């Protein structure tokens, strides 16, 4: 559905950060002070933008976020800190705000100084072109990409107590994706009216169920960030328990759909791999098993080769340090049972292999036989193309 929340403007331009000449500078701004929340990388080696944003969120006086691609502004010392603050200051001067009302996101190559001679006039141009339109929303989604094959977006409208409100989002990421704010950026926007505390709480929950459950190669970036911005311009105030539960579920769903687009676009990937763990004693246990399977290079290469190698999957679960009852463990691949009650069963290996080759998504479902808790993780396979790409591309 091509709907956008009220109270936002979007833009995306090329200002010369990328040698390719591609779009590399984006802006999302609000017409009035708005609520913002953020979840950020857990990497202790982090970009200047992460520290800046972390100190300013959650808040209720947000006005804009400027995003650049092609340069991470990470490991750039005092100059990087000054450049980050200067970007916020320029935006603030143009929209009548303070620098503390402006967030900054950067993504791209680590360890290079920002080309501020290009960025400063670029920001002025960027703001002059901002509009609330699908065209400009899409330009912003394209301008945040690095190695992505295409933009990642979502937009939807829901009814809350009979009143409409809208949620939309953009994301980027294809490599350096590890499940602790798996390099990725995502910005969710809504015209619902939220408190900063509720926005932060719901965003943290959504991150744990979506962007924290994706991986490509397990590499947590220096720049990972997820923002939620709420203008309140729908007039729908999210206050009651039922409203909070509905909005939280909507945000979870939107974040999951965006998050799945990242491993689907994994560098050189030929499969999206969905790993569903059931029968765990806790959600944390289920998540740990799923992450362990997703991180296995042997599992990932088997899927790249359309090989229903159940032994690699079950053994990965076994070294996850999570309790499991092997006698009650069951495994299916694309709906076909290959391991049941702790032992292999007869299955048509050629048919399952063909189903893996014919479908972009491979579905692994493993019941570990001890409880009722579940968790799902999404990853990509590991291909020769991934190795070749990352042996030649500088991050």
Q: Residues with catalytic annotation?
A: 183
- Please, what's the b/e burial string for 260-279 (b: 16 or more CB within 10 A of its CB; e: otherwise)? bbbbbbbbbbbbbbbbbbbb
How far apart, in Å, are the Cα atoms of 368 and each of 287, 324, 328, 363?
12, 5, 7, 16
Crossing angle of helices 196-209/241-264, nearest 10°?
40
Alpha-carbon distance of 224 to 177, in angstroms, equals: 9
Alpha-carbon distance of 151 to 140, in angstroms, equals: 9
Residue with structure tokens 């992450």? 291
Residue 86: CB atoms within 10 A of its CB come to 17
Alpha-carbon distance of 317 to 285, in angstroms, equals: 11
| Helical spans, DSSP H, in the chain | 48-54, 77-95, 116-128, 134-143, 196-209, 241-264, 283-295, 297-304, 310-318, 349-358, 384-392
Rg of the chain (C-alpha set): 22
Which backbone phi and psi does 102 adopt, to 5 degrees? Answer: -120, 125
């Amino acid at each position: 559905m091509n709907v956008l929340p009220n109270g936002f403007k979007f833009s995306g331009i090329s200002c010369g950060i990328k040698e390719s000449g591609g779009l590399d500078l984006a802006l999302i701004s609000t017409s009035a002070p708005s609520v913002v929340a953020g979840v950020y990388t857990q990497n202790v080696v982090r970009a200047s933008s992460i520290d800046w944003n972390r100190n300013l969120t959650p808040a209720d006086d947000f006005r804009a976020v400027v995003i650049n691609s092609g340069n991470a502004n990470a490991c750039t010392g005092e100059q990087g800190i000054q450049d980050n603050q200067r970007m916020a200051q320029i935006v603030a001067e143009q929209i009548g705000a303070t620098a503390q009302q402006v967030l900054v996101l950067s993504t791209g190559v680590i360890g290079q100084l920002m080309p501020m001679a290009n960025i400063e006039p670029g920001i002025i141009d960027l703001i002059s072109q901002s509009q609330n339109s699908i065209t400009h929303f899409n330009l912003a989604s394209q301008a945040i990409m690095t190695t992505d094959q295409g933009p990642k977006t979502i937009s939807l409208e829901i009814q809350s107590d009979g009143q409409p409100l809208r949620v939309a989002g953009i994301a980027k990421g294809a490599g350096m994706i590890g499940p602790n704010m798996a390099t990725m950026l995502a910005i969710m926007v809504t015209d619902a009216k939220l408190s900063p505390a509720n926005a932060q709480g719901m965003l943290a929950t959504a991150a744990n169920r979506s962007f924290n459950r994706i991986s490509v190669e397990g590499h947590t970036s220096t720049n990972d960030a997820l923002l939620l911005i709420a203008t309140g311009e729908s007039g729908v105030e999210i206050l009651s328990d039922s409203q909070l539960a509905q909005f939280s579920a909507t945000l979870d769903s939107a974040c999951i759909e965006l998050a799945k687009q990242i491993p689907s676009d994994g560098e050189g990937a030929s499969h999206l791999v969905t790993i569903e763990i059931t029968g765990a004693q806790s959600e944390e246990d289920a998540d740990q098993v799923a992450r362990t399977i997703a991180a296995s290079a042997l599992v990932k290469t088997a899927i790249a080769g359309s090989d229903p190698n159940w032994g690699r999957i079950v053994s990965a679960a076994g070294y996850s340090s999570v309790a499991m009852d092997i006698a009650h463990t069951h495994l299916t691949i694309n709906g076909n049972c290959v391991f049941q009650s702790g032992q292999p069963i007869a299955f048509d290996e050629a048919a399952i292999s063909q189903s893996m080759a014919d479908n972009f998504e491979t579905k692994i479902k493993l019941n570990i036989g001890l409880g009722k808790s579940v968790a799902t993780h999404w990853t990509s396979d590991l291909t020769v193309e991934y190795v070749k790409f990352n042996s030649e591309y500088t991050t």
